[in-house]
Amino acid sequence: MNDHSELLVVGGGIGGLTTALAALHAGRSVRVLEQAASYGEIGAGIQLAPNATRILDRLGLLPAMEAVGVLPRRLVLGDALTATELTHLPLGDFRERYGAPYVVLHRRDLLDLLLEACRAAGGALETGARVVDVEDDGRRVAATAADGRRWSGGVLVAADGLHSTLRSRFSDDEPIASGFVAYRGTVPTAHIERRADLGDVVAWIGPGLHLVQYPLRAGELYNQVAVFRSPAFAAGSAEWGTPEELDSAFSPVHGHLREATQLLGRELRWPMHDRLPIGRFAEGRFALLGDAAHPMLQYLAQGACQAIEDAACLVGALGRHDGPAAALAAYEAERAPRTARVQRNARAWGEFWHVGGADKTARDALLRARDPADHSRVSWLYGS
């Protein structure tokens, strides 16, 4: 058993480590409990908008992020069937407009920066710690791992992801399958004969599918994510989202986009899930954070960004309020409405991307008529 004032963080992903680092910066003792044998991220690229990079800047990470990442010039929406641009959002003025840049980088690079910073600040980082039980007696909270290890602290934050086992304290819901599946991967940029501008983050959207492309590591790597609606899922098959379905789904797209999907690894796929907002994810000395609290579909590129916002809010509340229960109640009151809005908008944005027929024609006309300088749809998200 350890110090009852220690902050316990269950889950060593981006949300959990950002929480730990923010707490360490605030002078708190922190212990991170990661169930895997080592810290690591599965996946490839990650997009961090100013609502997240402002916070990471305050934690001292932004210069290193810029060194290993890319600051794109534009966010672009394009037609996957014709490979033509529909609209874009310039990013060059984001520091002045929103107080921080838009950065894309490899997930592993971001996790390594967070790990290094937490270690340097004196955080305790456990591995192989699969938490199976949490007890809150009002004076302290305790976590018990499957191997019998036990830790006690003042507050416990569950950042254990979409399939959180600790979320059951607040809801008996299950992840909701969207019927869409993603294939992700990176490839050396030099190996791609035809690609989008390396200054752009591009989402090529089409009926029931999209392909996201952007550079990583100073343009040396090219990140690609292909997403499509699975007919096998709609038919009720247990085997859905297969590589064969990937090839079939992208057969109508423009040639160079179809070529791009052939460069994706086929051994791993990511079925896309979210959950409905639950509104309540804190009680006593215990709180959920990130995907454990509000898992969302990826269409706004805000999953990690919202977890980073959670971290700053939660640690800030602990510093402002007298007692953990009051602090975590304030955290929930601030974060639940915002994250629910992002969850709902992510679903709606995905529907907007994937329409076909007459709806696609109307959507494309709307996007082409949009003023690129119009921030009315994003200022609520990226602003402070």
Q: What residues are labeled active site?
A: 214
**Rounded to whole angstroms, how far apart are CA atoms 75 and 69?**
16
Closest Cα partner for 309 from 75, 7, 6, 15?
15
**Rounded to whole angstroms, how far apart are CA atoms 33 and 39?**
10
141 within 8 A of 155, measured Cβ to Cβ:
yes
18 within 8 A of 348, measured Cβ to Cβ:
no
Q: Which residues contact 316 (CB under 8 A, 6 or more apart)?
A: none
Closest Cα partner for 23 from 39, 40, 8, 38?
8
